[in-house]
Structure 1
Amino acid sequence: MWPPESARSSVGWQLWLYRIERVLAVLLLVVATAVSLGAGGRDGHWWAITGAWVAVTTLWVLGTVVLAPARLRERPAFALLTFAGIVGLGSVLELRDLTYVIFMIYAFLAAMRLRPTWLAFGGLGVTSLLINTLGNGGPVHALRERPGIWITIIVVQTATIGGGGLLSAAVARQNEERRRMLDELAAAQAENEGLQRQLLSQAREAGVLDERHRLAQEIHDTLAQGFTGIITQLEAAALAKDEPAEWQRHLDSATALARENLTAARRSVRALHPEHLDSATLPDALAGVAARWSARTGVPATVTTTGAPRPLHPEIESTVLRVTQEALSNVDKHAAAGRVGVTLSYMDDDVTLDVRDDGAGFVPGPGPGFGLPGMRRRVQRLAGTLHVESEPGGGTAISAVLPAVPAPPEASA
């Protein structure tokens, strides 16, 4: 009934209650003895006998309540032994002087430590019977003379104290369960934050590898081929040095190729960092990318934002922007679309990017085409997913779903 010490909450008032309980028996015994001494009217012989009983009771309380280890006190057999000693010694003292009913009050607490519950209620009933009848001729006399009133008092007192003990035990269990759940929640949150940091760290490392791969592919596909063309044109110009017009044509071609390569190199350098996010929110950055893409390609592109926009982790926002740029680039290269729609959706736990066009479409499947593997790698390394829906003549829909990891304080400040 009474919550065991091993399961007691560390809430302030409960902690102090349990500490007071351990010394309350001694305190009540001291108070009862002091009141009896103050009342006077007792001779030395009476006090010698009573003092001996008080000493024995004090030793019993110290050994079974105050100094006993918590694990020992929680054992049902030891709790029953403690209760029997307190109620027996208290009854002897109360018979000698009714003042010691003050000490007998502690027997209620001792009874509430009994297990199982029915035994605790039995101990409460015995304590109530003795406290109320020892001063009225004893249990037998009191119950014989006025059974109705004494039984009513005992039943009501036992039920009230026992009910309070059950309620206290239930509250203690709830507090302990709440504390345990809060500890588990805090541990899970700390673990989740650690996993998020690890995930984003791995994403940065993967991003570096992806950028290296992209640059290597860019150099191979554009810069290296451009330099090859420049060398070819210069070699041809050297062979045509006796023909001014042909020499000038090859030289002009080499110059044009050099300018194109310079433009490509600058484009690759700019692609290393999403500068659009430096001074704009993600929705504004997407709108700017779409507007510039439309101006260059002549294809209308609209950007729609749903939900409440909020700062997300830079890795998340950068990935959304990169996927948008790559998807628009694919539309320009392959789709022959008449219009494009970009939708950015903020939800509680996710942020979703949808890019749809009404172009030629294709049959989705494994393969290196359309830049989809690169987009999928970008999204998956941040625990996201990328879905592609398309069919020949039916346009294409690309949907990227990423966790809505909030921006760290220093990033959102």
Structure 2
Amino acid sequence: MLATAALLAFHDPIFIIYCISGFFLAANFAPSRWTFAAVAATSFVLYGAALDWTRADIQLIAFHLAIVAVQTVAIGGGHIAAIRIEGRERKYRKAVGDLQTALEENADLHAQLLTQAHQAGILDERQRMAREIHDTLAQGLTGIIMQLRAAQRVEDSGAHIDTALGLAGDSLSEARRSVAALQPGQLEDSHLPDAVTTLARDWTRTSGVDVRVEVTGDRVALSTAIEVTLFRVAQEALANVAKHASATSVGLTLSYTGPAVLLDVRDDGTGIRASGGGEGFGLSGMRQRVRGVGGTFEIESAPGEGTAVSAIVPALQGSPR
């Protein structure tokens, strides 16, 4: 292109304007050294064709060389800077696009997590209510039925009816507390040892089976979650004994061992007979409660040899009452 422009310009100066296109074509070499070479060559052809060499002197030639140098640096540098800026803008646009895509994906993931958390919260609340209903209403109704059946078998049924009414009132109170997610009434003003002792005494009065309560180790004030868990396990274990074991005696041991607290409920009843149905709701509920506070739950039983229920939970301390 420069050779053609030079021939045309030497033929007629009007074709000098054709040389200007060389500055634009020099951008094709950017960002390499050939950009400066292309700009310099274009400048030499442009000013060489425009210069009247018959009247040129050293000063005029030096002036034109200076212009060529300035143009080479300015235009060549401009081309290189433009290419680099364009490359940076392209990278920036790509980064912005990737960020936007990531934000959209994160928004979708966040929405999914919120949905899953909501569903998990609903499931946890349903399971909590199911356990509370089983531990309060179901057990209370079982006790009421037992007392009413006993009242049918005797002439003087007043004591059994009074006991049934007491159980009904207690069950209603516990149901209201469960709906409000409050701790059992026995734990309001006392700690776990006193609460399980009261529980055992009341259970003995309604079931007619003696319970021997033993507390070992140094007593400490446990957190509410730990005490509620162990209390509900003791409550469910005693309820299972009354419904299924046909036991004559029960032993309940609460052991404080420092880093952990152990609850054992043992009976001399008929034991758990193997069946294909797996654990009932009561046993699975106890297991879930204990696992929920980081503990372990075990059952040892054999037909005719009684049952032992054991729960081990961390001794997380709470505020004293």
Q: TM-score range by the shorter chain?
A: 0.5 to 0.7
Q: How far apart are the structure 2 equivalents of 1:228 and 1:332?
A: 21
Establish whether residue 206 from structure 1 lines up as the match of residue 120 from structure 2: yes
Q: Which residue is 1:151 aligned to?
A: 65
Cα distance in 1, alignment partners of residues 142 and 49 from structure 2: 115
1:169 to 73, 83, 99: 83
1:395 to 298, 317, 321: 317
1:220 aligns with 2:142: no
Q: Among 187, 192, 208, which residue is 2:101 paired with? A: 187
User: Where do 5+ consecutive residues of structure 2 fail to align?
Assistant: 192-222, 232-255, 263-285, 295-312
Q: Which runs of 5+ in 1 are unaligned?
A: 1-84, 272-288, 300-326, 336-358, 377-389, 398-413
Q: 2:292 aligns with which of 371, 374, 398?
A: 374
On the 8 A contact 1:226/1:261 being kept in 2, the answer is yes
Residue-by-residue CA offset, 1:56-89 (whole Å, 9 max, x unaligned): xxxxxxxxxxxxxxxxxxxxxxxxxxxxx3x344
Please report how far the alpha carbon of residue 372 of structure 1 lies from its aligned counterpart in structure 2 after TM superposition.
6.4
- Match among 157, 160, 164 for residue 250 of structure 1: 160
CA distance in structure 2 between the partners assigned to 1:93 and 1:189 by the alignment: 59
1:23-172 equivalent positions in 2, closer than 5 A: 85=1, 87-114=2-29, 117-137=32-52, 147-172=61-86
In structure 1, the residue matched to 2:272 is none
Q: 1:236 to 1:364 in 2, by over 3 A?
A: closer
Provide the residue aligned with 1:229 in structure 2: 143
Once the two structures are TM-superposed, the CA of residue 91 in structure 1 deviates from its matched residue by 3.0
Aligned-partner residue type, residue 258 of structure 1: A
Partners of 2:140 and 2:171 within 8 A in 1:
yes
Give 1:166 shift.
1.8
Residues 124 and 162 in structure 1, CA contact (< 8 A), matched pair in contact too? yes
State the Cα deviation string for residues 321-360 of structure 1 (Å, max 9, x = none): xxxxxx644356779xxxxxxxxxxxxxxxxxxxxxxx99
Q: Deviations over 1:92-117 (max 9, x none)?
A: 44334434433422210111112561
Bigger Rg, which one: 2
Kindly tell me the number of residue pairs found equivalent between the two proteins.
Answer: 221
Asked if 1:362 corresponds to 2:277, the answer is no
**d(CA) in 2 for partners of 1:391, 1:224:** 29
Aligned residue runs from structure 1 range 290-329, under 5 A: 296-297=188-189, 328-329=224-225
Question: CA distance change for structure 1 residues 159 and 142 in 2, over 3 Å: closer, same or farther?
Answer: farther
Does the Cα contact within 8 Å between 2:229 and 2:290 map onto a contact in 1?
no
* Partners of 1:94 and 1:134 within 8 A in 2: yes
TM-score by length of 2: 0.56
User: What is the aligned-residue RMSD (CA, Å)?
Assistant: 4.1
Structure 2 distance, partners of 1:374, 1:333, is 9
Question: Does the 8 Å contact 1:360/1:395 carry over to 2?
Answer: no
Identity of aligned residues (%): 31
For 1:336-355, list aligned pairs within 5 A.
none
